Amino acid sequence: MYQLEEETEADWWEVEALYDLCFAPGRTALSSYRLREGVAPVKALCLTLREDGILAAVIRFWPVLVGGQQVLLLGPVAVHPTRQGEGLGGLLIRESLAEARRLGWGRVLLVGDAPYYARFGFEKLDGVEMPPPTNPDRILGLELRPGAWAGVRGQVEKFLP
């Protein structure tokens, strides 16, 4: 039986260990991590998925700005290597996006593989620039409200309230 819960402070080390396991060394040097440094995640959307108490998958979201407009930055999402291929990442993405919509967020941004994320409605964004070095073909967006990305263009920047 799966337990889907909001990530807590007590989960932090275990979640970070899963990210280290799933991603290449140096993951924190990526441009998306520079946008997260010193910024609090959107706690209501940072989820853990456990089975019998064992961490199987995680997802986090962060606020950023694009053209002065607040945007959700999805990621990272990770599934333990022994659990990949079971649809757990997709479950986390669908659940968290539904909650983001319910909470009133309008738009989501991520850097990722277009064929994978297209199944959730993400499309390549034109005119949105992540800090280098980011392949522009991997900058994807999703509207949680119709028209939410209309006219939103520019450099992705840290959100510092």
pLDDT digits (tens, 9 = 90+) for 15-48: 999 999 998 777 766 777 789 889 999 999 999 9
pLDDT for position 34: 83
**Other Cβ atoms closer than 10 A to 130:** 24
Q: What is the DSSP letter of 101?
A: H
Q: Would you call the peptide bond into 115 cis, given omega within 30 degrees of 0 as the criterion? A: no
Q: State the residue for tokens 């607040």.
A: 70
Residues facing residue 74 across a β-bridge: 61
Contact between residue 58 and residue 45 where contact means Cβ atoms under 8 Å apart: no
**Confidence bin at 100 (pLDDT 50/70/90):** very high
CATH classification code of 2-158: 3.40.630.30
pLDDT tens for each residue of 57-68: 999 999 999 999
Q: Taking the model in full, what pTM does it have?
A: 0.93
> Do 97 and 144 touch, CB atoms closer than 8 A?
yes
Q: Tell me how crowded residue 17 is: count the other CB atoms within 10 A of its CB.
A: 11
